[in-house]
Amino acid sequence: MPPHGEPATVCAYEGGSRVRLLIDVVGGDFSAFHGPYGNGTVQRMRGLEHFSAAAASRTAVDGSARWHDLHEAALGRAFEMSVAPSATVAECQAAALGEARRRGVAEPERTYEPVFPWDDGVPRTWLADPATDEQLDPRLTLDSYGLADGDLIVLCVERPAESMYRLDRSPNPAALLERMQLSMHGTAPDSGGMLWGVLLYTSVDTGLATYVRTHFEDLDALSGPTTRLFVMERRTPWADARRYWRRHLEPELYQVLAPMQWLRWQPYDPQGAYRIASLLKVDPALLPCLVLFNGRADLPWGKQKVVFPVEEATPRYFRTLFGRIAEALGGQPGTGGAQLEYDDLRAGARGDGPAVLRDLLLRSARDRDEEAFARVAEAQHAISAALRPTPAPHTGYQLNNCKVILTSGTSGAVMTENFNFHGQNTTFVNRPKDTVIQDFQNQHGTALCADDLRQLLGLTLSSTELSDTERDEAAQAVHDLATLSGEPDVGAFRLRAERLRELLAGAADIAQPALALIATVTAAVTG
């Protein structure tokens, strides 16, 4: 993480708007630049116990903590720098190099004794995009590259080689995620009976799209050797993908995942995802969902399938889902085991989502897959029942629009009763998150910006930075905004939105996406 208490370097002209970039320094001879910049991040990932043990462990994993540790390991020496968007790459590079030398993360300026005739002994310096390894043109401005607050830039300082040696083939960190992409693997393997499944979700299901990346090894291990699980996303130009993920990821996670090229893919927009769902004859209302299918060529298109809606993107939910599927198949969950190794991707089916999906279904029409599908289809209702949370027992108490304070006259007494609160003044703390969101959907599903407000409520309830009191007040504020969005009192809406912004601004784990959603909703309601 960036050092605290260090003065920021100004890399252009004073005044005007500025962006804060995170600068990482890579230095050495040509071997330091052999392969993608993201190699270093994946190598550090493999060295962290959080990741090496995650695939084999069935205990809960604190996803945010382990990715924070990876950020610290990968970018612990990086530093922040304030820049004017109008500054040229050359100006930024000069300022970054000076600051890196001042901090001791880059070698002092010096020349080297040339070893080869083509070397002049002078180090070569440039700035690069960590996600594409593109060398930034020193004549262009930072603004022309679409850089914004929190973006990571790599300062490369290559010195002449002092000896001759050979390098092994460069690994490919992007393969860790790409092996789950349907468009990379649209053909069936030539061995074993398998269960075939696709996770369908849209660009608004950012929680699930993020989970696929932060828990990729868990999904890989849980699905085991008998289930072939794919995700359906589209590869987009980096400029577009960067804008999408920057809006939806915490800065630390964004900075770690981008160099690994795990953000070059993004979910289909709702229209595209619904078009894919229609091929499988899946009701769009069931998205996001896992679709398991029987692709026998003699069956009507999409006739035989099993659909499990993904109610929550959590380790508990997916471990229950795949654990019960494994039981239906007669095996144990996670017997395949994922390993954090590099893969060389063979060319798979290419094209748009529907074409790839059709190709996969037809190619999976193998008799030995029929039994696996039949077993899971028979167990569908039992698996779905296991995924539903156990309802709280009814106690007979119902309180409407009341503020309740529970006290005990006996020291150390334990309160065991369950209380359900209903009405405008609702207590959200310690209620299941999905229940609160479902209640909100039922109450405000037709409100203006209902989807954005639902996402905002989900972020609020998931924050670990807010106290119970703050989380409760923020959740109530989201409900108030949904109510006020249909009323003419714009001033009241602005005041409530501002209070919500103040509450969530201090929650580092959700601040960036939450504040963006508040701004979007406020603009839509107040104009």
Q: How far is CA 368 from the centre of its chain?
A: 35
Q: How far apart are CA 326 and CA 292, in angstroms?
A: 13
Q: Where are the beta strands (DSSP E) in 394-517?
A: 399-400, 421-422
**DSSP one-letter code for 289:** E
Say what angle helices 450-462 and 511-526 make with each other, to 10 degrees. Answer: 150
Q: Output DSSP code: residue 373.
A: H
- CA 527, CA 524: separation in Å to the nearest integer? 6
Place of tokens 């905002």: 456
Helix (H, G, I), strand (E, B) or coil at 178: helix
Q: Global pTM?
A: 0.64
- The Cβ of residue 372 has, within 10 Å, a number of other Cβ atoms equal to 22
Burial class of residue 21 (count of CB atoms within 10 Å of its CB; 0-12, 13-18, 19+): buried
Q: How many C-alpha atoms does 245 have within 13 Å on its Cβ side?
A: 31
Give the ranges where 293-365 is alpha helix by DSSP (H). 315-329, 353-363
Are 331 and 263 a contacting pair, CB within 8 Å?
no
Beta strands 289-293 and 195-200 are antiparallel
CB 526: neighbour CB atoms within 10 A? Answer: 12
DSSP H/E element including 79: strand 79-83
Phi, psi of 41 (to 5 degrees): -65, -45
Cα 293 from Cα 361, distance rounded (Å): 8
Sequence-ordered list of residues with C-beta below 8 angstroms from that of 364, at least 6 positions apart, any chain: 188, 194, 196, 293, 295
Neighbours of 122 (CB within 10 A): 13
Distance, CA of 353 to CA of 129 (rounded, Å):
28
State the burial class of residue 493 (Cβ atoms within 10 Å of its Cβ: 0-12, 13-18, 19+): buried
Distance CA 67, CA 341 (A): 18
Tokens of 267: 């979910």
Cα pseudo-dihedral 461, 463, 465, 469, rounded to 10: 0
Q: Which domains does the chain have, with CATH numbers?
A: 9-158 (3.10.20.90), 175-232+268-387 (no CATH), 399-526 (no CATH)
Q: Write b or e for each residue in 58-71: b if 16 or more Cβ atoms lie within 10 A of its Cβ, otherwise e.
A: eeebebeebbbbbb
> What is the β-pairing status of strands 19-28 and 152-158?
parallel
pLDDT at 67: 84
Question: How many CB atoms sit inside 10 A of residue 299's CB?
Answer: 14
Buried b (16+ CB within 10 A) or exposed e, 184-213: bbbebeeeeebbbbbbbbbbbbbbbbbbbb
CB neighbour class for 487 (10 Å; exposed up to 12, middle 13-18, buried from 19) = exposed
pLDDT in tens, the chain (527 residues): 333 334 344 344 444 578 999 999 998 877 777 778 888 887 787 777 666 554 444 444 556 678 888 888 889 899 999 999 999 999 999 999 999 999 999 888 776 666 666 565 678 899 999 999 999 999 999 999 999 988 999 999 988 766 655 555 555 666 656 555 544 444 444 445 678 888 899 998 998 999 988 887 777 777 767 777 778 888 889 999 999 999 888 888 999 999 988 898 899 988 888 888 887 788 888 999 999 887 565 555 556 889 999 988 888 898 899 889 888 887 644 444 334 333 333 333 345 566 666 665 555 555 667 788 888 999 999 999 998 865 555 555 555 555 555 555 554 555 544 444 444 444 455 566 777 777 787 788 788 888 888 888 888 888 888 887 788 888 888 888 888 887 776 777 887 888 888 888 888 888 888 888 888 888 888 77
Quick one: pLDDT at residue 138? 95
